[in-house]
Structure 1
Amino acid sequence: MNPILEEGQPHRRSRGAAGIAARPHAALAGGAGAARLFAALLLAAAANAFAAPAEPPAPAPRAPFSAYASPEARAQFHRLREEDRQAAALTTIEQKRAFYDAINRDRVERMRKRYAVTTRERRYGGVLADVVEPRGGPRDRRVLINLHGGAFLWGARSGALVESIPIAALSGMTVVSVDYRQGPEHAFPAASEDVEAVYRALLDEHRAEDIGVYGCSAGGYLAAQAVARFIARQLPLPGAVGILCAGFVPPDGDSVYVAPLLDGAPMPAAPPRLSELPYLRDAPMHDPQVFPGLHPDYVARFPPTLLITGTRDFLMSAAVRSHALLAAAGVPAELHVYDGMAHAFFSDPEPPESRAAYDAVVAFFKRHLGARAGTAR
């Protein structure tokens, strides 16, 4: 049995902030800035799940940064290390949220200088969303749902705009970024319920095959979970899905051990468990709406799927495995791997690697949306 699989308890719709205080390692884990929140939280959870050695391990040698990466990516790497140092001093969930919101608001300002968009708020099925459109209005009738990253803890609004602005501007499509419920205040399947509500509302205005769903990091997992929920509820399926810097299988494989070593951190004792995150703590890990990749009948019914990752992303192996499962099931799937790039690397617009990832997302959705019937197979 895969060591990450564990029997869950019944769903709970909400959880108080005490959920963080009771498991402080999840709240206090530092990330290399907002671009590596998910990685830091999960790897910290894995480290705390097992007894520490009597003597702290000696720092591992830091691998040289990739010679194939751009100078802008190298500058980003050093900036993220400084953000990591600052995050380590934060002690509460409120401080973490404020810290990463400030980082993301700065990113939004830089994004707006490069990409001409308009933004507005709208509720879909009672769920708040930020609607991002190219300035002058959408040039394409198709629409995208964005699900932001942030470990199911933060990233709402400002982080969502970071992930939506370049895609809306480059694609000419409307991007609806969902302000879904997160932990520790809410628990699985609250976020999936919110995505379903938005999707159902969009189905009143668009054909299913003209709707795409994508997300980064926690949002990538949520995108896969949402598709599984649509399958279970026999909804018409979206035309395509993007699972970015994530997968639809549990975090495992070589990358969960290698990625920390590349940054000079100790190798974790075991793969991280998503159940260590407050939002998923009571979720049944065997449920196909948590890890659809563990259920071949769900995998075979996925729409065309795009996966993007980097060689320093601890979830690279999960992305590679997810792509292999989709390909074996005959599902059209693409995997893009960027050398030297860390988890959620395209949160910054300056590196050419980020812009290449934006182009890949846009090209994939333009190619697949509207290309099939969009109903459950």
Structure 2
Amino acid sequence: MRLHRLLLVFLAFAVSLRAQQPPQNNSSVLDANGTAHVTRVIPVPTTISPEAQDTLRRPAGAENQTLAERRTSTDAWQTHAGEVSLKAYPVKIESLTIAGVPVRNILPLDETPRHPDHVLINVHGGGFNADSGSFTESIPIANLTHTRVVAVLYRLAPEHPFPAAVDDTIAVYRDLLKTYKPSHIALYGTSAGAILTAEVAVRLTQLNLPLPGALGIFSGMGDLSQTTDSQAMYALRGLTGSLPVAGTQPRNTDYTGTTDPKDPVLSPLHADLHGMPPTLFITSTRDQLLSGTTILHRAFLRSGDNAQLIVFEALPHAFWNDISLPETKEAYTYMADFFSQQLNH
């Protein structure tokens, strides 16, 4: 009897151990609704830099944080990442208020400004509820373009849902129009900032204000009314980290509030996009917003706009916030060259 119990315990342990082992084979089963239940064994590719390969081997960071915890950790990371960026891309940083909106004023160190009549406006990422880019998205670009960058510290959700961030950005833009020609202004952002960039452009057309000379939509989307293919496949860190099954979670309305998710400003895919400025789209193949970025890029093309798309290999969402990657340096160069070319026409 005792031997029998020991055998049962051993079998239970073996089953448990087997369950903990990662799958070793690929599989795909379609259910009656066409939903794919997929297992894929995906090695770290050799098509990216050794540094990028190392990042793909890291597990996801802290999850299930409260908003307060997320903001605290994001602020600490962004401050440190900004210091690292500053060493590689020296600039001068000031804190200002423009049209009542706090901003970071990022200035190149040229003794004689190379482009004193140009300005770039950055709207940072961070899910609309934190600041995960006002340093890392602006410091390298100011350095590489030798151009002033104004990073808008727009009001955050859920305390300030849509259209607060749009209104703040437009207030700064209106004020800068007093000094700069619209053709000498570029607007760009990553993630939430990429979404906001498109939203602001649509709102400017509604207000009959002149559009900027260029846009940068770096890992964004243009439709907050539906979930895309890449959002169903990838977490923020790509193939690592928890990811709820698409369609099983209630829609997050912290940013959208009570606005119709198909509102043409909130979701520019539903707007008339004819006449948008030249726009650079950047994403990567393990980006949660890969689909959203490419769908919006195609919408620009269908509207006859000058729209370029760059897709990096294997890297996760907004990878260019990691300054240690060679691919980040490459991405910054594409961004800076695009803005310099468009504003110097």
TM-score range, shorter chain: 0.7 to 0.9
Q: CA offsets per residue over residues 111-147 of structure 1, 9 Å max, x none?
A: 1110110000111111110011112354213110000
Normalised TM-score (structure 2)? 0.82
What is the match of residue 14 of structure 2?
Answer: none
Paired residues for 1:197-236 under 5 Å: 197-236=171-210
2:67 paired with 1:88:
no
> C-alpha separation between the residues in 2 aligned to 1:278 and 1:264?
22
State the number of aligned residues: 304
Gaps of 5+ in 2: 1-36
Q: Which amino acid aligns with 1:316?
A: L
Identity %: 36
Normalised TM-score (structure 1)? 0.76
What is the match of residue 284 of structure 1?
Answer: 260
The change in CA–CA distance for 1:121 and 1:271 in structure 2 (over 3 A counts) is farther
> C-alpha separation between the residues in 2 aligned to 1:181 and 1:271?
29
What is the match of residue 295 of structure 2?
Answer: 321
What is the match of residue 257 of structure 1?
Answer: 232
Are 1:62 and 1:263, in contact at CA under 8 Å, matched by a contact in 2?
no
Q: Which amino acid aligns with 1:262?
A: L
What is the match of residue 269 of structure 1?
Answer: 246
Deviation at 1:267? 6.8
> C-alpha separation between the residues in 2 aligned to 1:75 and 1:232?
46
2:225 paired with 1:246:
no
Q: Which amino acid aligns with 1:335?
A: L
Are 1:101 and 1:155, in contact at CA under 8 Å, matched by a contact in 2?
yes
Are 1:122 and 1:128, in contact at CA under 8 Å, matched by a contact in 2?
yes
Query: SS in structure 2 opposite 1:276?
Result: coil
Deviation at 1:272? 7.9
Deviation at 1:263? 3.2
> C-alpha separation between the residues in 2 aligned to 1:106 and 1:61?
36
Deviation at 1:96? 1.1
Q: CA offsets per residue over residues 224-259 of structure 1, 9 Å max, x none?
A: 111111010000110011111112234644312232
Are 1:127 and 1:194, in contact at CA under 8 Å, matched by a contact in 2?
yes
Q: CA offsets per residue over residues 1-52 of structure 1, 9 Å max, x none?
A: xxxxxxxxxxxxxxxxxxxxxxxxxxxxxxxxxxxxxxxxxxxxxxxxxxxx
> C-alpha separation between the residues in 2 aligned to 1:334 and 1:105?
31
Paired residues for 1:310-349 under 5 Å: 310-349=284-323
Gaps of 5+ in 1: 1-57, 372-377
Q: Which amino acid aligns with 2:156?
A: Q
Pick 1 or 2: higher relative contact order, CA cutoff 8 A, min separation 6. 1
2:90 paired with 1:116:
yes
Of 283, 286, 294, the residue aligned with 2:270 is 294
What is the match of residue 11 of structure 1?
Answer: none
Deviation at 1:214? 0.2
Are 1:239 and 1:370, in contact at CA under 8 Å, matched by a contact in 2?
no
> C-alpha separation between the residues in 2 aligned to 1:266 and 1:194?
32
Q: CA offsets per residue over residues 144-184 of structure 1, 9 Å max, x none?
A: 0000000011016xx30111000000010100000100112
Deviation at 1:265? 5.1
> C-alpha separation between the residues in 2 aligned to 1:271 and 1:212?
38
What is the match of residue 30 of structure 2?
Answer: none
Query: SS in structure 2 opposite 1:213?
Result: strand
Of 132, 147, 164, the residue aligned with 2:106 is 132
What is the match of residue 63 of structure 1?
Answer: 42
Q: Which amino acid aligns with 2:337?
A: A
> C-alpha separation between the residues in 1 aligned to 2:223 and 2:40?
30
Are 1:68 and 1:339, in contact at CA under 8 Å, matched by a contact in 2?
yes
Are 1:306 and 1:334, in contact at CA under 8 Å, matched by a contact in 2?
yes
Query: SS in structure 1 opposite 2:43?
Result: coil
The change in CA–CA distance for 1:95 and 1:266 in structure 2 (over 3 A counts) is closer
Are 1:187 and 1:278, in contact at CA under 8 Å, matched by a contact in 2?
yes
Are 1:144 and 1:175, in contact at CA under 8 Å, matched by a contact in 2?
yes
> C-alpha separation between the residues in 2 aligned to 1:271 and 1:313?
21
Are 1:60 and 1:264, in contact at CA under 8 Å, matched by a contact in 2?
no
Q: CA offsets per residue over residues 38-80 of structure 1, 9 Å max, x none?
A: xxxxxxxxxxxxxxxxxxxx9966622222111111223344x
> C-alpha separation between the residues in 2 aligned to 1:201 and 1:294?
28
Q: Which amino acid aligns with 1:204?
A: K
> C-alpha separation between the residues in 1 aligned to 2:293 and 2:216?
11
What is the match of residue 51 of structure 1?
Answer: none
> C-alpha separation between the residues in 1 aligned to 2:182 and 2:249?
35
Are 1:59 and 1:266, in contact at CA under 8 Å, matched by a contact in 2?
no
What is the match of residue 142 of structure 1?
Answer: 118
Paired residues for 1:170-209 under 5 Å: 170-209=144-183
Query: SS in structure 2 opposite 1:243?
Result: strand
Are 1:252 and 1:315, in contact at CA under 8 Å, matched by a contact in 2?
no
> C-alpha separation between the residues in 1 aligned to 2:241 and 2:255?
29
Deviation at 1:283? 2.0
